[in-house]
């Protein structure tokens, strides 16, 4: 389609307004530090309360959160990690830097989340971790997955980038496995000025390691002891380091540190965004309900609906259309022609060239491949849409589904009308 879309896909997944602007103005006028200050502490404390975990440690992006989470797994060469193919590449990309065997687990047809039945068949004695996503904001079936993991001492990392505002039988994503990783990118359900991330977990040792790493300190194994050389220079009171720099000995380095400090400006905005989260997600759910009502009128289409007890955060709106080749394309082209932007999320990761180079390829996850290439559709669903845009979206979806039905009916007519030869034979 040429020109601007009447209903564009979200460039912003949240709404920033006067509240956030006023908070930023107060911070700038206060003269307080703009890094590693009180707002970060408040944001992290509030987020840990929200997620239901002992710790919530902020970092500069969801990608960094995932990289540090994989680091905490302490994977060794030859270990195996089971991952989902239906996610953004950042979920599993850190594993490319490690000499581990990655096993892609096929997905559930309804939720597009990791399928517990497929997962069971992939777990071996060498499996050390499971990396999954709560696709689109629909929590994965964590009870089954975590039970399998606990029986075998396997760690579970949740990519919660889509899941802010979701609930799973009364609990929040980020507290369901061992480590939760959140993103506050501009497109997500809340944002910290475009970029930001958070790790959630309960372990004290992980909190110490992440805090060191994000603050440009080494993640190492240190022991206390009197190891000071006799000629060590004196440390005066105003110097940065304490006497522990001479007293402690480093037995090994797991990883060098980095600067992953989320700024005070980002944290003050994040705190106010978190207070608005439920209203933002309610708007997403209202839009999704409107679209579901349209989809339900068409027998060749279906919407995703979680079971009772599972509450969708609707970061993505996903529906499916089935039929002969060309059906999904007719739907997408019909939407585009009517001013609705469609972006399919996400290309099956095991088919990317970097993963094909490690032995993965077509046929490995047949459900993920079938749905993405023939049925899967994502539609705009974000709180920035006006009521008029939602009306247009619903009308365009209804009309485009009719376009798809025409493709199906034409295909059926070609297969049911007898050929001249068949008619002639029947006459004899």
- Give the residue numbers marked as catalytic: 188
Distance CA 315, CA 114 (A): 18
Distance CA 114, CA 122 (A): 12
Distance CA 190, CA 290 (A): 22
Going by their DSSP bridges, the two strands 155-159 and 101-104 should be labelled as unpaired
Distance CA 178, CA 155 (A): 6
Is the CB of residue 189 less than 8 Å from the CB of residue 277?
yes
Distance CA 367, CA 327 (A): 18
Whether a cis peptide bond, with omega within 30° of 0, leads into 343 is no
Collapsing DSSP states into helix, strand and coil, what is residue 40? helix
For 55-79, the DSSP string reads EEEEES-HHHHHHHHHHHT---TT-
Distance CA 135, CA 87 (A): 7
CA 4 to chain centre: 28
The angle subtended at Cα 336 by Cα 333 and Cα 362, nearest 5°, is 50
The H or E element that residue 222 is part of is strand 219-224
Check residue 96 and report its DSSP letter.
Answer: G
Is the CB of residue 218 less than 8 Å from the CB of residue 253?
yes
Place of tokens 């992440």: 210
Distance CA 23, CA 360 (A): 49
Sign of dihedral through CA atoms 399, 373, 319, 316?
Answer: negative
Check residue 259 and report its DSSP letter.
Answer: B
């Amino acid at each position: 389609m040429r020109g601007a879309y009447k209903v564009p896909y979200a460039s912003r997944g949240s709404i920033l307004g006067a509240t956030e602007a006023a908070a930023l103005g107060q911070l700038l006028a206060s003269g307080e530090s703009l890094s590693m200050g009180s707002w970060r502490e408040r944001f992290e404390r509030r987020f840990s309360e929200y997620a239901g975990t002992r710790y919530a440690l902020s970092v500069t992006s969801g990608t960094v959160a995932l990289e540090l989470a994989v680091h905490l797994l302490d994977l060794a060469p030859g270990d195996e990690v089971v991952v989902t193919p239906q996610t953004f590449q950042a979920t599993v990309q850190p594993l490319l830097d490690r000499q581990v065997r990655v096993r892609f687990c096929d997905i559930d047809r309804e939720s597009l989340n990791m399928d517990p039945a497929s997962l069971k068949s992939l777990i071996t004695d060498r499996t050390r971790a499971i990396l999954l996503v709560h696709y689109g904001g629909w929590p994965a079936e964590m009870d089954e997955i975590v039970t399998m993991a606990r029986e075998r001492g396997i760690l579970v990392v949740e990519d919660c980038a889509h899941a802010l505002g979701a609930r799973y039988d009364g609990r929040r994503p980020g507290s369901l496995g061992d480590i939760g990783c959140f993103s506050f990118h501009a497109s997500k359900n809340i944002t910290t000025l475009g970029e930001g991330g958070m790790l959630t977990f309960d372990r004290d040792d992980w909190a110490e390691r992440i805090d060191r790493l994000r603050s440009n300190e080494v993640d190492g194994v240190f022991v206390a002891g009197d190891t000071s050389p006799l000629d060590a220079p004196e440390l005066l009171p105003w110097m940065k380091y304490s006497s522990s720099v001479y007293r402690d000995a480093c037995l090994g380095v797991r990883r060098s540190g980095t600067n992953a400090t989320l700024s005070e400006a980002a944290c003050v905005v994040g705190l106010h965004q978190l207070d608005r989260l439920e209203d933002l997600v309610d708007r997403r759910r209202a839009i999704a309900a409107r679209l579901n009502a349209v989809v339900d009128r068409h027998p060749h289409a279906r919407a995703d609906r979680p079971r009772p007890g599972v509450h969708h955060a609707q970061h993505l709106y996903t529906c499916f259309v089935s039929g002969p080749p060309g059906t999904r394309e007719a739907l997408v082209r019909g939407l585009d022609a009517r001013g609705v932007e469609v972006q399919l999320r996400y290309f099956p990761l095991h088919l990317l060239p970097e993963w094909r180079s490690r032995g993965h390829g077509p046929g490995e996850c047949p459900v993920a491949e079938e749905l993405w290439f023939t049925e899967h559709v994502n539609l705009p669903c974000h709180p920035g849409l006006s009521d008029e845009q939602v009306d247009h979206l619903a009308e365009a979806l209804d009309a485009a589904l009719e376009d798809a039905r025409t493709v199906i009916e034409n295909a059926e007519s070609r297969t049911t009308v007898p050929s001249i030869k068949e008619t002639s034979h029947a006459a004899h």
